Amino acid sequence: MNCIRNDAFLRTDGRKGIRNTVAVVYLVECAHHVAREIQLPFREVGVHLLGFGGCYPNDYSFRMLTTLCTHPNVGGVLLVSLGCEGFNRAGLLDVIRRSGRPAELLVIQECGGTRTTIEQGRVRIGEILRQLETVPRAALTVEELVIGTICGGSDGTSGITANPAIGLAFDRLVAAGATCIFEETGELIGCEQILATRAATPPVAAQLVESVEKAARYYATLGHGSFAPGNADGGLTTQEEKSMGAFSKSGSAPITGLIKPGDVPAVSGLYLLDVVPDGEVRFGFPNVNDTAEIVELIACGSHVTLFSTGRGSVVGSAISPVVKICANPETFRNLAGDMDIDAGRVLEGRGSLPEVGDEIVALVQRVAAGVPTASEALGHQEFVLGYKSFEPVGPACHPVSTIHM
Amino acid sequence: MDAIQLSSLDNVAVLVRRLPAGARVSLESGEVILDRDLGLGHKIACKPIAIGDKIMKYGVSIGSATQPIAPGQHVHLHNMQSDYLPTYTLDVDRLFRGVSTP
């Protein structure tokens, strides 16, 4: 399964995209409406809306938008600013332009307001789309692919069908040289010792345990774990039970290292993404919903996200396609139009976990080659980004390539 | 097959299909009778469990029993709890009853 396609979108940093998206990015909620109106007529032609709602600057959100706007699936960017917010718009524009991408900035207060900014923005999008037609193409191999995984709307079937099937797919992809990322340290609470035995080196083992202990402290302060009412309705009782099910998404490969949002692994392998902020509890829940986690996986370079669901989530994402793997056969029948893979069929004797794992690997290859996922075809482009605070990963870890800023 | 025990160390089994109260479920440890209607993915005890015993699933502890649990009984929020964090649930039926019948 080495060469996936001959016409991937080659970026100047050498990474290759499986989509050639234009991102319209609002830099404060006050510019959201204008940005959305600019994007609306282009929604069906690969123009996505994303942004940051806060007025006050934050290193994490700046780093997230720089890595997202220079993601290999993004070909060009239009930034939309109100004009008085704290976001470093000049710095972001500079990083994107230095990456070789067409990028423009419109400041509503300098463009004459809502109507004229929308008009100008649509003209700029037309220009960027024309420039994207000449993006260089190159062969994409599986070694260059980054695949993230998340579970959302989990139930008692997630941990016995979809999640272990994703784990089998991850084992095959890691063995083929791809980079795979699993996440949500709060959903590994109770698994920390088992997690440590999977670490590639003793320092990584210590970092993995420490990251889960940090998550446990963080959630204990908030008084609420990563556990929604629907999880209990679906038969899950405790955080550690949900964790064991979630952990099986990681498969059985050694864990190469721990990364934080925006770190792009420089070496292939299996990584745990630490989504829980460092330091004292400051800005609330580590991730307000599944989309916040998907966005962080994409900021780490994920071309595709494998999303396991039992209760039935329907979300997709801006920038990178989401593959929906349904754990529960009843849910699959109920929401078939939203799902890509029926992993719950294993419970009804209609297939085995290895068969579902193989099906996931095959679908990842097709999606990377350009085939839209169910959520992509339905127009899902969810995006959310909030405030956080992180310290860089320590020296014990592995190399990560960081965007030069 | 109506329920699977994921590890030989486990004292619970997971239902693989929706079953009504009174249904007979065959487990490796013998046949049990369900004490209530249960959905896919829910857990039943496959061994006698005492207060304070660890609930074992996937071969590891997923919490502790807060009530004695007999084989075949539903294992959930009413008779077990996390050893880490409390579980938040939304009782939709009670919320709606609270609105319509004071």
**Number of structural domains, chain A?**
2
Same domain, A43 and A176: no
Is A17 in the B-facing interface, judged by CB distances under 8 Å? no
Q: With an 8 Å Cβ cutoff, are B89 and A232 in contact?
A: yes
d(CA A53, CA A4): 37
pLDDT digits (tens, 9 = 90+) for A122-154: 999 999 999 999 999 999 999 999 999 999 999
Same domain, A214 and A248: yes
Contacts of B55 in chain A (CB under 8 A): 237
Any idea what the CATH number is for the domain that residue A58 is in? 3.40.50.2300
Last residue in a domain, options A112, A138, A164: A138
Which residue would you say has higher pLDDT here, A299 or B102? A299
Q: Work out the average pLDDT over A379-384.
A: 97
Same domain, A272 and A227: yes
Q: Domain range holding B90?
A: 3-100
Any idea what the CATH number is for the domain that residue B41 is in? 2.30.130.110
Buried b (16+ CB within 10 A) or exposed e, A326-364: bbbbbbbeebeebbbbbbbbbbeeebebeebbebbbebb
Of the candidates B39, B58, B76, which has its C-beta nearest A237's C-beta?
A: B76
Same domain, A48 and A174: no
d(CA A22, CA A161): 36
- Write the ipTM: 0.85
Q: Domain range holding A132?
A: 7-138
- Nearest-CA distance B52 → chain A (Å): 15
Is A235 in the B-facing interface, judged by CB distances under 8 Å? yes
**Number of structural domains, chain B?**
1
Last residue in a domain, options A138, A167, A196: A138
Are A70 and A96 spatial neighbours (Cβ–Cβ below 8 Å)? yes
Of the candidates B41, B83, B85, which has its C-beta nearest A234's C-beta?
A: B41
Q: What is the pLDDT of residue A186?
A: 87
Q: Residue A79: what residue type?
A: L
Q: Which residue of A has its CA nearest to B57?
A: A241
Q: Tell me the pLDDT of chain B averaged across its residues.
A: 87
Q: Which residue of A has its CA nearest to B81?
A: A238
Same domain, A131 and A254: no
Sign of CA dihedral A318, A28, A150, A2: positive
d(CA A314, CA A101): 31
Q: Which residue of B has its CA nearest to A213?
A: B84
Same domain, A220 and A339: yes
Q: What is the pLDDT of residue B91?
A: 63
Same domain, A130 and A171: no
Of the candidates A216, A237, A330, which has its C-beta nearest B77's C-beta?
A: A237
Q: Tell me the pLDDT of chain A averaged across its residues.
A: 94
Question: Residue A1: inside a domain, yes or no?
Answer: no
Residue with the two structure tokens 């959305």: A36
Q: With an 8 Å Cβ cutoff, are B85 and A189 in contact?
A: yes
SS3 state at A82: coil
- Indicate whether A324 pLDDT > 60: yes
pLDDT tier for residue B93 given thresholds of 50, 70 and 90: low
pLDDT digits (tens, 9 = 90+) for B29-68: 889 999 899 999 999 999 999 999 999 999 989 999 999 9
Are B9 and B56 spatial neighbours (Cβ–Cβ below 8 Å)? yes
Is A227 in the B-facing interface, judged by CB distances under 8 Å? yes
* Residue (of A347, A394, A353) closest to A156 by Cα position: A347
Q: What percent of chain A has pLDDT over 90?
A: 85
Q: Which residue of A has its CA nearest to B76?
A: A237
pLDDT tier for residue A230 given thresholds of 50, 70 and 90: confident
Same domain, A177 and A306: yes
d(CA A112, CA A335): 45
Q: Which residue of B has its CA nearest to A222?
A: B85
Q: With an 8 Å Cβ cutoff, are A237 and B80 in contact?
A: yes
Contacts of A157 in chain B (CB under 8 A): 40-41
Q: Work out the average pLDDT over A169-180.
A: 98
The residues on B that touch A, with CB distances below 8 Å, are 4, 6, 14-18, 39-43, 55, 57-58, 60-63, 75-77, 80-90, 92
How many other C-beta atoms can be found within 10 angstroms of the C-beta atom of residue A367? Answer: 24
pLDDT digits (tens, 9 = 90+) for A254-283: 999 999 999 999 999 999 999 999 999 988
